[in-house]
């Protein structure tokens, strides 16, 4: 890939604070930098997801006989790093909310 100044650009992977995804950039010896669209869009999307609280609509499922439950969506599992067997505290502040809290 050639830079707008005519020099050869080198592919450099850039780590961005707060993001697990890495952005791919192209840099020339004169200091011009261009970010690859696809990878930088991924980073931006990831950062946005982390900033805004997740709000996901899910259905309550019947587990067995009269027991109800729901599954943790993959996004929640990943962003909170949840593992099977972990304990949570459940509180019900009002009729519209259930709060799950993990031990510190
Ligand atoms: Zn250049």
Is residue 78 a part of any domain in this protein? yes
Tell how far the Cα of 47 is from the centroid of ligand 1, in angstroms.
28
pLDDT tens-place string over residues 21-55: 999 999 999 999 999 999 999 999 988 887 777 67
Using alpha carbons, select from 36, 32, 38, 37 the residue that is nearest to residue 3: 32
Residues whose CB is less than 8 angstroms from the CB of residue 20 and which lie 6 or more positions away in sequence, other chains included: 46
Tell how far the Cα of 41 is from the centroid of ligand 1, in angstroms.
22
Residue 89 lies in domain: 61-102
Tell how far the Cα of 3 is from the centroid of ligand 1, in angstroms.
5
Tell whether 43 and 71 lie within a shared domain: no
Confirm whether pTM is higher than 0.85: no
pLDDT, position 62: 92
Tell whether 47 and 70 lie within a shared domain: no
Tell how far the Cα of 40 is from the centroid of ligand 1, in angstroms.
20
Is residue 56 a part of any domain in this protein? no
pLDDT tens-place string over residues 68-101: 998 888 888 888 889 999 999 999 999 999 888 9
Is residue 27 a part of any domain in this protein? yes
Is residue 79 a part of any domain in this protein? yes
Tell whether 67 and 45 lie within a shared domain: no
């Amino acid at each position: 890939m050639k830079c707008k100044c005519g020099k050869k650009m080198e592919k450099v992977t850039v780590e961005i604070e707060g993001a697990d995804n890495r952005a791919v950039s192209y840099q020339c010896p004169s200091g011009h930098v261009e970010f690859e669209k696809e990878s930088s869009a991924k980073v931006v999307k990831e950062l946005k997801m982390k900033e805004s609280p997740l709000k996901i609509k899910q259905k309550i499922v019947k587990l067995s006989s009269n027991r109800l439950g729901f599954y943790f969506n993959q996004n929640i599992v990943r962003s909170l790093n949840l593992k099977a067997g972990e304990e949570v505290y459940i509180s019900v502040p009002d009729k519209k909310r259930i709060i799950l809290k993990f031990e510190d």
